[in-house]
Amino acid sequence: MAITINGGGTITTGVDALDDVTVSASDPTATENVSLGHLWINTTTGEQYVCINATTDDNQWANTGRGEDNVNMTSPIVATGGTITTDGDYKIHTFTSSGTFTVTDAGKNVGVEYLVVAGGGAGGNGNSGSGGGGGAGGFRTNVSGATSGGGASAEASMAISATSYAVTVGAGGSSVGSSGGTPQSGTDSVFNGITSTGGGGGGSQISTAALSGGSGGGSEGANGGPGSGTSGQGYAGGSANNGGYAAAGGGGAGAVGGDASGSGNSAIAGSGGIGVQSSITGATTYYAGGGGGADYSSGSLSYGRGGSGGGGGGSLSNSSTSGLESGSANTGGGGGGSYNVASGAGGSGIVVIRYKYQNL
């Protein structure tokens, strides 16, 4: 292969005889370990590359032929869906309701981080015993350095393709009516094979066990048993066994729901388990707190408080809504338990997707 010089002359020794040039039948790799500005010519395709980063075993090559098919180089993801914001070098897609994450360009060597929180369970209700707090929706994330629910470490990175991904944001469990009834769990949130399980409903009526879920519901005041959490997503609800006077709190993504304590009119309801913090949106926020248990003892302010992360508080006394709260929307918080009034509903879930779009 010869180089033609302006004016018609040629260098007959060929390009392969020049310094700092490689002529090969294949493309370069990231481990060529050449000097910055090294030229590489592929004699099979006719493409040429220039080394623009000579870091050892991490060379980057820009294609100066068609300008395509760069080697070991990053380029940003291009996508739509949800509410789009930025935080520093990151672009963030926040889904507060179900939708579609559409990727038109998957970029090079760039994956996505996610937060997937399911809907929280509703608090339980009783008219012969206090209702347990609802369990928080399951909490899963792969943000580097973060913690998933149930104390698990962050999950593996996620590669994506140029396609459309359905995003499901789980609803919170429906309030349980004032005459008692079946515990109501939240529904699952889903993104690209990642499923977070809806929170378990709090125990209702005497001997009606709380439900299991992402985090489990808290026991009803006469103890029907707490619900279990899902490994890597959340914790179990608390326990209660005091004749119905006070119920237990629902589990959160960061801790077990609080047990009811004491007995009779001295009974104290359990608070909801704490949630887990995430800064994926750019703001540090708690998600997936458990709901507090109800109390109808005569003790002062003895109802269970909601766990940080959107958990709702339980009701304070017989036929009263004092202290009673639903789980907060788009946190996956569990609803508060009640006595003789409708319980707190579970909070809806949320899905957040984040990726680096500049300074790659």
List pLDDT tens digits, range 264-302. 888 899 999 999 999 999 999 999 999 999 998 765 567
The residue whose two tokens read 């928080």 is 136
Same domain for 314 and 247: yes
Residue 54 lies in a domain: yes
What count of other Cβ atoms lies within 10 Å of the Cβ of residue 59? 25
Same domain for 115 and 58: no
Nearest to 346 by CA among 286, 300, 319, 306: 306
Same domain for 166 and 43: no
In the chain, the number of structural domains is 2
Same domain for 149 and 19: no
Same domain for 52 and 79: no
Residue 161 lies in a domain: yes
Residue 52 lies in a domain: yes
Is 8 a residue whose pLDDT tops 70?
Answer: no
Same domain for 185 and 50: no
pLDDT tens digits, one per residue of 64-80: 876 566 666 678 899 99
Is residue 200 within 8 A of residue 130, CB to CB? The reply is: no
Same domain for 261 and 203: yes
Residue 125 lies in a domain: yes
Is residue 16 within 8 A of residue 35, CB to CB? The reply is: no
Is residue 339 within 8 A of residue 294, CB to CB? The reply is: yes
Q: What is the Cα–Cα distance from 257 to 292, expressed in whole angstroms?
A: 8
pLDDT tens digits, one per residue of 171-218: 999 999 877 788 999 999 999 999 999 999 999 987 689 999 999 999
Same domain for 201 and 55: no
Phi, psi values for residue 151, rounded to 5° = 80, 5
Domain final residue pick, 44, 63, 82:
63
Residue 269 lies in a domain: yes
Show the beta-strand stretches assigned E in the chain: 3-4, 10-11, 21-24, 39-42, 48-53, 60-63, 78-80, 83-87, 90-95, 99-105, 113-117, 125-126, 139-141, 164-168, 189-191, 194-196, 276-278, 285-287, 338-339, 350-356
pLDDT tens digits, one per residue of 248-258: 999 999 999 99
Same domain for 270 and 248: yes
Q: How confident is the model over 238-255, as a mean pLDDT?
A: 92
Residue 69 lies in a domain: no
Same domain for 133 and 42: no
Residue 349's domain spans which residues? Answer: 74-360
Phi-psi region of 15 (alpha: psi -120 to 50; beta: other; left: phi over 0): alpha
Predicted TM-score (pTM) of this structure: 0.82
